[in-house]
Amino acid sequence: MNEYHMTPGQFREEGKKLIDWIADYYEQVEQYPVLSQVKPGEIKKQLPEMPPLSGEPFDKMLADVDRIIMPGITHWQSPNFFAYFPANTSFPAILGDLLSSGLGVQGMLWATSPAATELETRVMDWLAEMLELPQAFRSTSTGGGVIQDTASSSALAAVLAAREKVTRFSGNEKGVQQKLVAYVSAQTHSSVEKAVKIAGIGRENLRMIDVDEKFALRPNLLREQIRQDRESGFLPFFVCATIGTTSSNAVDPIRKIGEICRDENLWLHIDGAMSGTALLCPEFRFHADGLELADSFCFNPHKWMFTNFDCDCFWVADRQHLINTFSILPEYLRNQATESGEVFDYRDWHIQLGRRFRSLKLWFVIRHYGVEGLQFHIRKHVQLARWFAEQVSLSPHFELVTSPPFNLVCFRHNGTDEFNLQLMNEINLSGKIFFSHTKLAGRVVLRMSIAQTHTTKKQVERAWQLITETAERLRNN
């Protein structure tokens, strides 16, 4: 031991073991029950109450991972994981994350590690090109992209920038004096409600606009609500529309909403956290028609683009709004590059100061797969979802609740809500697959989210078989 530190030699040795461990894990992941079977407290009681006084060998830690931690893991990377939303990973992303840990740089300013900033700018422009985002979102134009931890942080950044824009940056200085109102649909992700609360707008000033039969925001109701609010002395300032809602994958009519926002001078944020990745393929881009009317857009490579959590990509059409909202320059961070105005300092583009070198893992992913490799996998997931949806439509016992635009299938057994939940719980407890549910139009709906890195037709066929066989058994009980 070198004054307690792990030496480079030990790191080399233990690190290789850990890489082997991870590779083994992926080879064997289907052998585990997908949903962890432990009871509350079961993991904690196996962990000592007090920390060790003397350091312990790495082998012992790794053994405890196998013995204590693994039973408490729900295997998100299993090809039989169909719950909630994807959080798919890939080996290039894991290696990129490892390299980021290894370099251990802080990329808050250009000057604190120029490569961290410039690689991020380049990769975000690549992605803008890959998704065919409007010109304004490129760093070479008025806007640009920045990597955030999550879509929740992007929503908050958008709400804050919108607040500052509408108050001419007096919100930052004097607090919010006006009665601001924001608009979402009844199906918008809860992170926007949270952002509105945190930004001091107040939840009472968030209007949840009703949706149509496809669960998409109804633009005429939005226009009417804005009119009423203005009449009552409110100041409308922000709208969030979604490409692929979490619950049902609904796509809001971006162009119509965008035209309202343009007429009314409101900030439009487009949340593509879960399904924005589909824009990689030209055949899905019609869903984003009207995106040039938006002020900001985000999607999560950490959901459906083989990039380990966390990685949310956030673009704005005018970076000055963002920078004016978040910029702050204490003496100890003053430097020539910043003063020259020639560089981006990404700490001015979000809430936190310190930032990880996240663009490395994205760069590795994009270079490993290439644009066509990513398109191949997105199309494969959508095809599998369509196959599953077709089986549902053909079955006399199940119904399709919405026709899937992407890779999420919403369906239900044509029995009671209780029957559907019982069916799902029974299957999930078996550990063979894991899927989840939601409520749409007051009814329990089952969800199959098909997007894990190693999911193939085999697992999807088996899942359908398991669901139909279990339903039959329960019906006969």
Q: Helix or strand or coil: residue 93?
A: helix
Q: Give which of 233, 241, 230 is closest to 192, Cα–Cα.
A: 241
280 makes contact with ligand PLP (CB under 6 A):
no
- The distance of closest approach from Cβ of residue 459 to ligand PLP in the complex, given in angstroms and rounded to an integer, is 22
152 makes contact with ligand PLP (CB under 6 A):
yes
Q: Interacting stretch for ligand PLP, rule CB under 6 A, among 117-125, 150-158, 208-216, 376-384?
A: 150-158
User: Which helix (H) or strand (E) is 270 found in, with range?
Assistant: strand 267-272
End-to-end Cα, the chain, rounded Å: 64
User: Which helix (H) or strand (E) is 474 found in, with range?
Assistant: helix 457-476
Cα–Cα distances (Å) from 240 to 37, 120, 148, 233, 428, in that order, read 38, 25, 18, 21, 34
User: Which helix (H) or strand (E) is 209 found in, with range?
Assistant: strand 206-209
345 makes contact with ligand PLP (CB under 6 A):
no
- The distance of closest approach from Cβ of residue 67 to ligand PLP in the complex, given in angstroms and rounded to an integer, is 30
Q: How far apart are CA 441 and CA 266, in angstroms?
A: 29
The type of residue at 334 is: R
- The distance of closest approach from Cβ of residue 323 to ligand PLP in the complex, given in angstroms and rounded to an integer, is 22
452 makes contact with ligand PLP (CB under 6 A):
no
Q: How far apart are CA 307 and CA 313, in angstroms?
A: 11
Instruction: Tell me whether residue 19 is exposed, middle or buried, using C-beta atoms within 10 angstroms of its C-beta: 0 to 12, 13 to 18, 19 or more.
Output: middle
Q: Interacting stretch for ligand PLP, rule CB under 6 A, among 4-12, 206-214, 238-246, 352-360?
A: 238-246
308 makes contact with ligand PLP (CB under 6 A):
no
Q: How far apart are CA 66 and CA 18, in angstroms?
A: 12
246 makes contact with ligand PLP (CB under 6 A):
yes
156 makes contact with ligand PLP (CB under 6 A):
no
Instruction: Tell me whether residue 178 is exposed, middle or buried, using C-beta atoms within 10 angstroms of its C-beta: 0 to 12, 13 to 18, 19 or more.
Output: middle
Cβ closer to ligand PLP: 152 or 167?
152
Sign of CA dihedral 389, 393, 398, 401: positive
The residue ranges of DSSP E strands in 414-465, in sequence order, are 436-440, 443-449
447 makes contact with ligand PLP (CB under 6 A):
no
Q: Interacting stretch for ligand PLP, rule CB under 6 A, among 68-76, 147-155, 227-235, 429-437?
A: 147-155
185 φ/ψ angles, rounded to the nearest 5 degrees: -95, 165
444 φ/ψ angles, rounded to the nearest 5 degrees: -70, 130
Cβ closer to ligand PLP: 313 or 467?
313
Site residues for ligand PLP, 248-277, by CB under 6 A, read: 271, 273-274
Cβ closer to ligand PLP: 193 or 417?
193
Per-residue x/- track, 78-107, ligand PLP (CB under 6 A): -------x----------------------
- The distance of closest approach from Cβ of residue 238 to ligand PLP in the complex, given in angstroms and rounded to an integer, is 15
Cβ closer to ligand PLP: 256 or 303?
303
Cβ closer to ligand PLP: 273 or 467?
273
- The distance of closest approach from Cβ of residue 41 to ligand PLP in the complex, given in angstroms and rounded to an integer, is 26
Hey, what are 64's tokens? 């405890």
- The full 3-state SS of 395-417, as one line of letters, equals CCCEEECCCCCCCEEEEEECCCH
Q: How far apart are CA 216 and CA 225, in angstroms?
A: 16
Cβ closer to ligand PLP: 77 or 249?
249
Options 312, 318, 345, 348; binder of ligand PLP; rule CB under 6 A: 312
Cβ closer to ligand PLP: 33 or 290?
290
Cβ closer to ligand PLP: 85 or 137?
85
Per-residue x/- track, 176-215, ligand PLP (CB under 6 A): -------------x-x------------------------
Cβ closer to ligand PLP: 219 or 301?
301
Task: Tell me how many residues contact ligand PLP (CB under 6 A).
Answer: 14
Q: How far apart are CA 285 and CA 132, in angstroms?
A: 8
Buried b (16+ CB within 10 A) or exposed e, 188-214: bbebbbebbeebebeeebbbebebeee
| Number of other residues whose CB lies within 10 A of the CB of residue 152 | 19
- The distance of closest approach from Cβ of residue 245 to ligand PLP in the complex, given in angstroms and rounded to an integer, is 6
299 makes contact with ligand PLP (CB under 6 A):
no
Q: Point out which residues bind ligand PLP (CB under 6 A).
A: 85, 150-152, 189, 191, 242, 245-246, 271, 273-274, 300, 312
